[in-house]
Amino acid sequence: MAKTIGIVTSGGDAPGMNAAIRAVTRVSHAKGFQVIGFERGWDGLLTNSFRRLTPRSVGGIIQLGGTILHTLRCPGFEEKGAIEKGAETLSTHGVDSLVVIGGDGSFRGALELSRKSSALMIGIPATIDNDVYGTDETIGFDTAVNTAVGTIDKIRDTAISHERIFLVEVMGRKRGFLALEVGICVGAEVILIPEKPMSLADIVRLMEESAKKGKRAGIIVAAEGCGNTSKLALEMQQQTESEVRLSILGYAQRGGGPTARSRLLASLFAEKAVDLICQGKGSMAVGLQKGEITGYDLDKAAKDKKPIDLRLLQVADMLAT
Ligand code: ADP
Helix (H) or strand (E) holding 2: none
Assess whether 118 and 177 both reside in one domain.
no
> Among the three residues 254, 269, 294, which one is the final residue of a domain in this structure?
254
At 2 the pLDDT is 65
- Helix orientation angle between 311-319 and 177-186, rounded to the nearest 10 degrees: 20
Is residue 153 in some structural domain? yes
Number of domains in the chain: 2
Q: Which residues pair with 142 in a beta bridge?
A: none
Cβ of 42 closer than 6 Å to ligand 1, yes or no, is: yes
Q: Is 227 in the pocket of ligand 1 (CB under 6 A)?
A: no
Indicate whether 320 belongs to any domain.
no
Q: Which atom of ligand 1 is nearest to the CA of 82?
A: 25
Same domain? For 118 and 8 the reply is yes
Structural domain including 98 reads 4-140+258-303
| Alpha-carbon gap, residue 279 to 167, rounded angstroms | 49
Is residue 125 in contact with ligand 1, taking CB distance under 6 Å?
no
Top-confidence residue, 304 or 320: 304
Q: Is residue 1 scored above 60 in pLDDT?
A: no
Q: Tell me: do 50 and 17 sit in the same domain.
A: yes
In a domain, 318, yes or no: no
Ligand 1: does its nearest atom lie under 6 Å from the Cβ of 147? Answer: no
Indicate whether 321 pLDDT > 80: yes
> Which CATH number characterizes residue 248's domain?
3.40.50.460
Q: Which of 26-40, 237-251, 293-307 is predicted with the least confidence, judged by mean pLDDT?
A: 237-251
Q: Is the distance from the beta carbon of residue 11 to the nearest atom of ligand 1 less than 6 Å? A: yes
Q: Domain check: are 264 and 208 in the same one? A: no
Give yes or no: residues 207 and 161 share one domain.
Answer: yes
> Residue 245: helix, strand or coil by DSSP?
strand
Instruction: Say yes or no: 28 and 109 in one domain.
Output: yes
Residue 241's pLDDT band (cuts 50, 70, 90): confident
| Residue 157 and residue 201 in one domain | yes
**Which tens digit of pLDDT belongs to each residue from 204-225?**
999 999 888 888 899 999 999 9
The atom number, within ligand 1, closest to the CA of 127 reads: 3
Active site residue 129: yes
**Active-site residue among 43, 129, 131, 142?**
129
Q: Give the closest residue to 299 by CA, choosing from 310, 313, 283.
A: 283
Out of 40, 108, 114, 306, give the residue to mutate to test ligand 1, the one with the largest number of ligand atoms within 8 Å of its CB: 108
- pLDDT tens digits, one per residue of 14-54: 999 999 999 999 999 999 999 999 999 999 999 999 999 99
**Whether residue 119 sits in one domain with residue 265:** yes
Residues 250 and 266 occupy one common structural domain: no
CB neighbours of residue 54 within 10 Å: 13
Please say whether the dihedral angle defined by the alpha carbons of residues 235, 236, 238 and 244, taken in this order, is positive or negative: negative
CATH of the domain at 33: 3.40.50.450
Give the Å distance between the CA of 214 and the centre of ligand 1.
48
Residue 179: predicted pLDDT: 98
Q: Does one domain contain both 106 and 164?
A: no
Find the length of the chain: 321
Q: Is the CB of 67 under 6 A from ligand 1?
A: no
Do 118 and 152 share a domain, yes or no?
no
Mutational pocket test of ligand 1: of 106, 117, 124, 135, the residue with most ligand atoms within 8 Å of the beta carbon: 106
**Ligand 1 atom 11 nearest Cα:** 106
According to the model, what pLDDT value does residue 64 have?
98
| Dist. CA 174–CA 194, nearest whole Å | 6
- Residue 219 near residue 187 (C-beta atoms within 8 A): yes
